[in-house]
Structure 1
Amino acid sequence: MRELSVSQPVPLSHLARWLVAVPLLLLVAYLVTFDQGVVSQAGDYLHELMHDGRHLLGVPCH
């Protein structure tokens, strides 16, 4: 007969990594796909990087 195992709680340090990584990845995805230059007008280099990222991902931008 098999014994039932009790699951251990997730350490807070592992959870904290995900709580930081997921919103950061969502922000990057927003800037590359939907921004259309509103936020990325801080400089030409950043604007061109986001523009090229949209073309790379196949997102229409013009």
Structure 2
Amino acid sequence: MSGVSTSPRPASTPVVLPVSKSVLWLVGTALIVLAVYYFIGVDQGAVSVFGNDMHVHEFVHDARHFLGFPCH
């Protein structure tokens, strides 16, 4: 036997989340996903929700084309 361990492994236990915590994680994740979707897919710079001085469109311009979003 060349270094092979035959000792039994301890049984793994699943992670159990209460429903209230699961809902909190789901809502939080959905809000983050919607924000990312807005910045990459919807924000057009000139008609941005955040005004003309925040050009998020320019920061994600190449990502928009890579993901297939038309922007001009």
The normalised TM-score by structure 1 is: 0.62
Larger radius of gyration: 2
Count of residue pairs brought into register by the alignment: 52
Q: Would you say 1:24 and 2:37 are equivalent positions?
A: no
* Consecutive unaligned residues in structure 2, runs of 5 or more: 1-16
Structure with more relative contact order (C-alpha pairs < 8 Å, separation 6 or more): 1
| 1:1-62 pair list within 5 angstroms | 11=18, 12-37=20-45, 38-39=48-49, 46-62=56-72
More helix, by proportion: 1
Instruction: Return structure 1 stretches of 4+ with deviation > 3 angstroms.
Output: 39-44
Identity %: 37
* Consecutive unaligned residues in structure 1, runs of 5 or more: 1-9
Change (3 A) 1:27 1:16: same
Q: CA RMSD in A?
A: 2.1
The normalised TM-score by structure 2 is: 0.55
